[in-house]
């Protein structure tokens, strides 16, 4: 099947899982095709509208505008500049301020206000989801696909994804959430509920740390001595945070090592796989295994790293080679391609 047909299938699979209320104001790819317009043209208009509504919502939240009975936005004629309010004098003389009982809202007014807050929050989350769906489409259209699992997404997984993803307003994190959805559409079950829950607490700093870890990951470990040889790269606070989150082990407590097993009985040979490179480690001396100092990456950590696409850190790679040379090993590097064998590791 051609790449374009696979992409169309994936787009349709995405839209099958979206409810009419979630995509209110958006046109399905089928509808756009029937209209004779291009997908890009329609999506640009829709995204512009979403951003416009977001600005209106911001004005409503700040009290700079209100809705008239017909639902039209009415901007306040006079908006007090918050800089004119003398907070210091209010605080200093707070004991002199008398609040009249009649000025306090009753329960009906409080409930009405709570309903407004709830509606604003719901609309904000919906607009974020719609932007994520458009971003997911854009990612799909740029993919090189081999195959698609036609199985449906797990309803519980999708609901959890929507809840967590709709809370993210940062562009980099939204990219991450969109990529997660694309992966799940291609192959349901790829990302666990545990990973979704972990990512829900991610900050931008956490995401940047995960990208760094991805650039150093050698399968299920980080070559500790190589990284520590790079003072500018090694950040103990980062590794302590990663260990605290359950992503790596070995920062504190017992010093850990990684055992690499030889694939040959006549001489040592083993291949380490990284994000976009392979290291072929060899020695003319027969030995069954090689121990290297390591920070171990947990199962959760490996799953999270698979969500990022960080190229190998070249300075770290060079430090690895130097350390292996000091252990009597020769090292060659090649680009990673599908189907390469991995060495047996423990």
Tell me the domain boundaries of the chain.
3-85+109-200, 212-335
155-165 vs 107-141: helix crossing angle, rounded to 10: 110
Interval 290-310 mean pLDDT: 93
115-139 pLDDT, tens digit each: 989 999 999 999 999 999 999 999 9
Cα separation of 43 and 130, whole Å?
11
**Helix/strand/coil for 309:** coil
* Tokens linked to 51: 């951003």
Q: Is 293 left (phi over 0), alpha (psi -120 to 50) or beta?
A: beta
What angle, rounded to 10 degrees, do the helices at 107-141 and 39-62 form?
160
| Low-confidence winner among 63-77, 243-257, 313-327 (lowest mean pLDDT) | 63-77
Q: Is 56 in contact with 65 (CB distance < 8 Å)?
A: yes
Task: Let me know: does 13 contact 148? Beta carbons within 8 Å.
Answer: yes
What does the pLDDT read at residue 232? 81
| Residue of 338, 345, 104, 317 lying closest to 226 (CA atoms) | 317
Q: What is the layout of strands, in order, in the sheet containing 277-283?
A: 268-273, 277-283, 330-335
Q: What predicted TM-score, i.e. pTM, was given to this entire model?
A: 0.81
pLDDT beyond 90 at 337: no
Percentage of residues in the chain having pLDDT higher than 70: 89
pLDDT given at position 80: 46
């Amino acid at each position: 099947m051609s790449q374009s047909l696979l992409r169309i299938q994936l787009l349709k699979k995405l839209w099958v899982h979206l409810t009419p209320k979630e995509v209110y104001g958006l046109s399905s790819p089928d509808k756009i095709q029937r209209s004779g317009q291009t997908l890009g043209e329609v999506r640009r208009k829709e995204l512009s509208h979403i951003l416009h509504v977001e600005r209106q919502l911001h004005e409503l939240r700040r009290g700079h505008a209100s809705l008239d009975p017909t639902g039209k936005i009415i901007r306040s004629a006079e908006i007090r500049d918050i800089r004119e309010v003398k907070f210091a004098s209010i605080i200093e003389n707070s004991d002199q301020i008398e609040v009249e009982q009649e000025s306090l809202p009753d329960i009906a007014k409080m409930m009405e206000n709570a309903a407004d807050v709830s509606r604003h929050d719901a609309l904000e989350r919906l607009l974020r989801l719609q932007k994520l769906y458009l971003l997911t489409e854009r990612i799909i259209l740029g993919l090189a696909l081999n195959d698609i699992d036609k199985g449906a997404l797990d309803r519980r997984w999708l609901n959890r994804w929507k809840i967590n993803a709709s809370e993210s307003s940062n562009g980099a994190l939204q990219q991450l959430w969109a990529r997660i959805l694309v992966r799940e559409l291609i192959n349901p079950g790829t990302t666990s509920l545990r990973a979704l829950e972990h990512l829900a607490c991610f900050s931008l700093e956490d995401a940047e740390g995960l990208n760094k870890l991805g650039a150093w990951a050698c399968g299920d470990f980080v070559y500790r001595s190589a990284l520590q040889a790079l003072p500018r790269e090694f950040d103990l606070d980062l590794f302590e945070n990663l260990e605290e989150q359950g992503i790596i082990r070995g920062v504190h407590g017992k010093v850990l090592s990684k055992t690499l097993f030889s694939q040959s009985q006549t001489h040592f040979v083993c291949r380490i796989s990284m994000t976009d490179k392979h290291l072929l480690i060899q020695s003319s001396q027969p030995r069954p295994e090689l121990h290297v100092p390591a920070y171990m990456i947990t199962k959760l950590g490996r799953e999270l790293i698979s969500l990022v696409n960080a190229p190998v850190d070249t300075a770290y790679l060079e430090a690895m080679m130097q350390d292996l040379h000091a252990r009597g090993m020769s090292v060659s590097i090649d680009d990673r391609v599908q189907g390469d064998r991995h060495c047996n590791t423990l």
